[in-house]
Chain A
Amino acid sequence: MRASFLLTAMTLSLAAAGCNKTEEAKPTATASAPAAAPAPMAPAADTGPIKVGILHSLSGTMAISETSLKDVALMTIEEINAAGGLLGRKLEPVVVDPASNWPLFAEKARDLIQNQKVAVTFGCWTSVSRKSVLPVFEELDGLLFYPVQYEGEESSFNVFYTGAAPNQQAIPAVEYLMGKKGGSAKRWVLLGTDYVYPRTTNKILRYFLHSKGVADDDIMEKYTPFGHADYQTIVADVKKFAAGKRTAVVSTINGDSNVPFYKELGNQGIKAEDIPVVAFSVGEEELRGIDTKPLVGHLAAWNYFMSIDTPENKAFIDKWMAYVKKNNLPGGEKRVTNDPMEATYIGIKMWAHAVEQAKTTNVDAVRQAIGYQKVMAPSGFEIEMDAKNHHLHKPVFIGEVKADGQFHVVWKTEGPIRAQAWSPYIPDSAKKVADWTYPWVCGNCTEPKYVVINRHA
């Protein structure tokens, strides 16, 4: 206990030292102006660079996944600057490190908005970090772009969700496995890490499976702690459960627990064509560090795969590899692109379009302008921001793992699907509406609410 307390204290002090340095180095012209003022900014403020916050863990357990999002964000900002910036001003990234520490995420977000006066923030990975910064962005009226697939059941006036909602990832994946192509699964194992995202996703899936006539006897739900490495019993249980009926496993196991899990599957002789495992948190980046032979044939559902063959994707990958090479990033030629990176890229592009259109970085104006904004995504589809629920319309791809760690797409939607922020399968959520357009100005309500004029007064 003491050890972990000391560790936290040290991390905090280190982080604090780090952020003091950035403050000293970059005094801002708008330092005295109130945060996110509703009135148009003073002309003096329009001449300096536009500050963009990047809030991703660069140390701690989530660094593995989040570091590449920071990198791709910097790449996109560089690209915009190279094309002349926005409104004749350069973008200036402000990178902070919340160190996989959820309360620190909130502190860093406050620092970005209040002290650094960033116009927008791109950040967070885990749902728990997003839940941690949400009150800060709502209180200070900041703008957050969240780039990772998540459990839904949320819509905020201050957040734009560029990752998938459950109906853009989990539900189609389960439907695929139910179909003939996916192996007509009749029995379901819902396996996850024990925290909010897997629990909520599995709750939605259970309701969904009920709606498809699957009985509770045919659903097995199991959770393991973060970092769990001993999957012997669980895999043996899955095998027993699978005897007799065609079974599929839906895995919301997060982080590096996936490696021992898949290894155990292979060693106990479970083959993908018998018991396919579809994962929602395993992508190219996660497969980069592991031996993919035992995983061949298992599935993942995403809105983007590096292997998608479109000119847009080729350009995106080329740009990324060139950026990696130029900046000599660790990993070098082995670096990959993945879904949350694409979502980060789309998010920044979309915000840039909105700023151009609104001719200001003012939060209210940008928020207005961003609805219906379209971006040609690397996945080859024109992606649109939904003005009502602040989520993207996204295509869904289901891919099978290949021996080289890439995915072979076996199924895709014809076009982008609109996100359902509130799941229609959960009875309590089915009535809820996320709508930020007149007369509904509410992300979580059952009847219209009206705009409060002068909310900043």
Chain B
Amino acid sequence: MPTSVGIGNFRRLGEVLTVLRIAFIVAGLVGVIRSDANAAEPLEESLRELASPDSDVVERRLNELAASGNAALIPALEALCDARLRVAPDGAVYYTAPKERTLRHPLTGTIVDPQPSGTHEVEVNNQIRRQALPVLAELKLRSPAEAVRMAAAQELDGRGDAESVAILRSAFKDEQVKRVRDAMALALARWDLQSTDPERQIAALAIARALGTSSLKGELKRLAGATPDASIRKAAAQALDDIESRQHFLDAVGALFHGISLASILLLAALGLAVTFGLLGVINMAHGEMLMLGAYATYAVQMAFERWLPGLVRYYLLAAVPVSFLATLLAGVLLEKTVIRFLYGRPLETLLATWGISLGLIQTVRLIFGAQNVAVANPDWLGGGIEIANGLVLPYNRLAVIAFAVAVAVAVWLLLQRTRLGLQVRAVTQNRAMASCLGIATRRIDMWMFGLGSGIAGLGGVALSQIGNVGPELGQTYIIDSFMVVVLGGVGRLAGTIVASLGLGVINKFLEPFAGAVLGKIVVLAFIILFIQRRPQGIFAIKGRVEA
């Protein structure tokens, strides 16, 4: 069993250090007349102690700072939470703005000149963050920006103490924007539910009924069960019911979104295969590696931007899309010209050859980039998400992948239906001999088709790099899913691929909460096997004569 005696020792040591530090600061103030006149301000002195190694001292200082209610403290406190606060050897604290290195004065925000040397980072941990965030939220309740006030109200929901509730109440009176008012009302209601004044409780229950989230359920259950006042019991039960039905609806919307998001990934992974396997009939075991190459091309573009265009690095992803497409398209064309074209009509040999190629590609990438996964960062504009309701967040990267999947699917459809190449492709897939008779260079079409399928896989790789890991074995995890989608959808049908990925994605996500991730996958697999037994041609069968 671990002992916690160590903590006590640290605490005592911390206090000694703090006393020493205060003594030191005072001595410094008395002994040396410093040019920085602000140093004597009590606020700044409290700020200085945020650098204390003792979390309890920091906690006390944070409470003092909160009591001051001074909005000038916001940047310094934000810097504390983000580990951007720095302390100089003389105990003075400074902060740096995000992604900057220059030290700023903690209260005025002006760049300090000359820059103090030998500063080190003020260590921050969850305990300090948990203390600092409500303090920050209290200060931010009067911010001119609506989003900031909103976030502050949400932060204080369930976090605040009696003091922050008083601040919240006064801010609520002045608040004009309905969205923020609602958030504040909810935070206040949570507090009022625990009050002993029945009128307050009833009012809070009305708010809880209209706006409440499942985090209120515990408190409401208590009120519905053991309150002497029957009207409160009833109101609590009603609020509970409303919250639960709202929650069920949100759960369903959430599952639907997650399903569509999974479907978009399946679609991007399978769309390229739908072209090479579906239209061309090549059992391409190296398809997964095309996804992998696309993801590595994204990584390469990111590295190139970091090295040569550091100012534009947040937009590297936009450049990665065409680069990955072209790189994998070239790889596909090369593959077709050197290997695949000699193996048309011999499925077993194609399977073995492409599988060998896939091993070769994995090993090549491992030799160049190493066996470790590489870090493909989400650009900051893809981080985070929009909260459409309390508890349901749609992450931007998922939304972007969905939009991207739709765009790619539409582009492929347009290419096949609206261009000359598409017309020739359809002709070749439907009747190769006849197409050849009519003067279509079928060999060339094959080459471009294979290249196109690989290029689409490359685009899938760009999307996958934003969701999962980028490593040499990336393709292996998606190859089975890709074949599953294409076979289920019906070989040779793009619409089938789209419907199949949507179906699989949504079914999977509705099953997961009940069955768990492992069992969910098994159930889906069993479903596909049964389905293929009943309907070997897949959801959409190609009508008419098709040569094998």
Interface residues of A (CB under 8 A from B): 3, 6-7, 59, 61, 63-64, 67, 167, 171-172, 175, 179-183, 194, 222-225, 227-230, 232-234, 236-237, 239-240, 243-245, 256, 259-260, 263-264, 266-269, 272-273, 276, 288-291, 293-294, 296-297, 299, 330-331, 396, 400, 402-403, 408, 410-414, 417
Contacts and interface: CB of A to CB of B under 8 A. Distances in A.
A223 B378 contact: no
B213 A243 contact: yes
Interface in B368-415: 370-378, 383-385, 387, 391-393, 395-398
Interchain residue pairs A-B with the least CB separation, the first 4: A267-B395, A243-B215, A229-B468, A289-B373
B355 A227 contact: no
A273 B129 contact: yes
Contacts, number: 163
Given A243-B214, A268-B385, A291-B377, A237 B513 contact: yes
Contact of A267 (B6, B213, B396, B517): B396
A230 B216 contact: no
B217 A263 contact: no
B518 A259 contact: no
A412 B123 CA distance: 16
B194 interface: no
Contacts of A263: 378, 397, 467
Most central of A63, A167, A236, A259 by chain B CB within 10 Å: A236
A164 to B, nearest CB: 12
Nearest to B220: A244
A296 B391 CA distance: 22
A239 B391 contact: yes
B371 A64 contact: yes
Given A244-B215, A260-B467, A236 B254 contact: yes
B513 A244 contact: no
Contact of B469 (A3, A59, A256): A256
Given A224-B518, A225-B521, A413-B6, A291 B214 contact: no
Given A272-B126, A408-B123, 5 more contacts: A240-B391, A259-B468, A259-B469, A267-B385, A269-B385
B513 A233 contact: yes
A360 to B, nearest CB: 38
A179 B391 CA distance: 27
A306 to B, nearest CB: 16
A289 B126 contact: no
Contacts of A67: 371
Nearest to A285: B372
11 contacts: A229-B469, A232-B261, A233-B513, A234-B517, A236-B392, A237-B513, A260-B468, A272-B129, A290-B373, A299-B126, A402-B83
Nearest to A260: B468
A408 B521 contact: no
B387 A269 contact: yes
A449 to B, nearest CB: 28
Interface string B454-489: 000000000000011101010001000000000000
B518 A268 contact: no
A244 B518 CA distance: 28
A263 B477 CA distance: 19
A331 B517 contact: no
Contact of B477 (A229, A239, A288, A412): A229
Contact of A222 (B2, B3, B468, B516): B516
Nearest to A228: B517
A63 B477 CA distance: 17
A291 B299 CA distance: 13
A172 B384 contact: no
B37 interface: no
Nearest to A294: B383
Contact of B518 (A175, A223, A330, A414): A223
A290 B375 contact: yes
B38 interface: no
A225 B518 contact: yes
Contacts of A289: 372-375, 471
Nearest to B370: A330
A40 to B, nearest CB: 42
A240 to B, nearest CB: 6
B80 interface: no
Interface residues of B, number: 68
Contacts of A236: 254, 258, 391-392
A172 B7 CA distance: 14
Most central of A179, A181, A224, A396 by chain B CB within 10 Å: A181
Contact of B216 (A175, A244, A299): A244
B258 A233 contact: yes
A426 to B, nearest CB: 16
B5 A414 contact: yes
Nearest to A175: B2
A3 B285 contact: yes
Interface in B198-218: 213-218
A413 B3 contact: yes
A269 B393 contact: yes
Interface in B239-288: 247, 251, 254-255, 258, 261-262, 265, 285
B145 interface: no
A182 B512 CA distance: 31
B442 to A, nearest CB: 29
Most central of B373, B384, B398 by chain A CB within 10 Å: B373
Contacts of B2: 171-172, 175, 396, 413, 417
A17 B521 CA distance: 37
A297 B258 contact: no
B532 to A, nearest CB: 15
Contact of B125 (A63, A400, A414): A400
A64 B373 contact: yes
Nearest to B352: A6
B383 A266 contact: yes
Given A256-B471, A411-B7, A222 B377 contact: no
A350 to B, nearest CB: 23
Nearest to A412: B6
B1 interface: yes
Nearest to B221: A244
Contacts of B359: 7
Contacts of B258: 232-233, 236
B61 interface: no
A243 B391 contact: yes
A233 to B, nearest CB: 5
A138 B530 CA distance: 46
Contacts of B452: none
A267 B477 contact: no
Most central of B247, B370, B374 by chain A CB within 10 Å: B370
Interface string B350-374: 0000010001000000000011111
Given A222-B516, A223-B516, A267-B396, A167 B83 contact: no
Nearest to B6: A414
B372 A288 contact: yes
A183 B1 contact: no
Contacts of A408: 123, 125
B283 to A, nearest CB: 11
Contacts of A7: 359
A270 to B, nearest CB: 9
Interface in B106-164: 123, 125-127, 129-130, 133
A228 B214 CA distance: 28
B395 A268 contact: yes
